[in-house]
Structure 1
Amino acid sequence: MENNAASKLTPQSPIWLRTFVETYQILSTDNLNLLASIYHTNILFIDPMHKVEGLDELYKYFNSLYSNLSRCQFVIDNIVTQGDEAALYWTMTYQHHKLNKGDVVTVQGSSYIKGHNDKVIYHRDYLDLGAMLYEQLPLFGKLIKWIKKHASK
């Protein structure tokens, strides 16, 4: 865990938050079973591509996502917490053989999470899907970058 994220967690931080942060630092295709240790069975997970309800469906979703990646790592850069809610600011680096010519892609994002009974029951991710996915596609990526460049003029 990065020092700045670790400094935001204290022994008084909720157990669900500490476990969540520690687990995301090591999550990979080899240990997706750890999802059960951080997510409530009734988890509602939302990201720019999907809305997933329930731990079994979340496991299937993550398994599908991670199985196509040769590398994926999250670094939690900052945490803001209040009661049973937290906002996490993170940097994700990943590699997919069909995206960005197989080179590493770095995306910054944030997550809003809620804890319930020592597990996360609500998780919503906010990130630039264009930077994460569309800009990494050979032809579509050039078009998206062109649109972004000319939209500001």
Structure 2
Amino acid sequence: MSVQIHNLNNHHQDQAIWLDNFINIYSQLSVDNLHLLDRLYHQDIIFIDPMHSLQGLAQLNSYFSNLYSNLASCDFTIVQVIHEGNQAAIYWQMKFCHPRLNKGQEVEVSGSSHIQGDNDKVTYHRDYVDVGAMLYEHIPFIGKLIAFIKRRATKNV
């Protein structure tokens, strides 16, 4: 078994095409270039995140179009890649602005993705992210309630 941990400053020759594509596309993905997803994902992609489970490129494109249509900006920074065979764990930082979250100010959240690929396409993509830190904590009333609950939960620790 050979697990490869990639520092993004050092490109490895043995890295898979689908993984190179993922890193390159997500590093430049924005509200203005969602068409790049067609180059990345297989026609029968399985995509899962904490709020949705989708199958097929058409569903994925529709999901991303809806998601990004509400954002003023969204940028990903790939922090680390752990790669073995046809799968990889990607650790990332996402910064986004939504007019109704965090008073329209930028929100930054860490997350990771488990992806699998074949040749030049990603066939499976599952995101792991704290939805509270990404969404709920930035909704006016709910955010204050979550902050209160967190303070109470850690008070006796």
Please give the range of the TM-score, normalised by the shorter of the 2 chains.
over 0.9
- Unaligned runs of 5+ residues in structure 1 are none
* 3-state SS, counterpart of residue 25 of structure 1: helix
Shift of the alpha carbon at 1:28?
1.5
CA RMSD of aligned residues (A): 1.3
TM-score w.r.t. length of structure 1: 0.94
Aligned twin of 1:77: 79
Query: Is 2:150 the partner of 1:148?
Result: yes
Counterpart CA distance in 1 for 2:91 and 2:151 is 26
Query: Is 2:79 the partner of 1:115?
Result: no
Counterpart CA distance in 1 for 2:136 and 2:65 is 21
Shift of the alpha carbon at 1:117?
3.0
Aligned twin of 2:137: 135
Shift of the alpha carbon at 1:149?
1.7
Shift of the alpha carbon at 1:146?
1.1
Aligned twin of 1:44: 46
More helix by share: 1
Shift of the alpha carbon at 1:31?
1.2
Aligned twin of 1:102: 104
Aligned twin of 1:25: 27
For the pair shown, which has the larger CA radius of gyration, 1 or 2?
Answer: 2
- Alignment partner of 1:5 out of 5, 8, 29: 8
Identity of aligned residues (%): 51
Q: Deviations over 1:20-71 (max 9, x none)?
A: 1000011112211111111000000000010011000000000011110001
The worse-fitting range, judged by mean Cα deviation, of 29-38 and 88-97 is 29-38
TM-score w.r.t. length of structure 2: 0.92
- Unaligned runs of 5+ residues in structure 2 are 1-5
Task: Give 4+ residue runs of structure 1 displaced > 2 Å after superposition.
Answer: 3-7
Counterpart CA distance in 2 for 1:110 and 1:68 is 22
Shift of the alpha carbon at 1:111?
0.3
Counterpart CA distance in 1 for 2:54 and 2:134 is 19
* 3-state SS, counterpart of residue 30 of structure 1: coil
Return the letter of the residue paired with 2:8. A
Shift of the alpha carbon at 1:15?
0.4
Counterpart CA distance in 2 for 1:22 and 1:40 is 16
Counterpart CA distance in 2 for 1:16 and 1:130 is 30
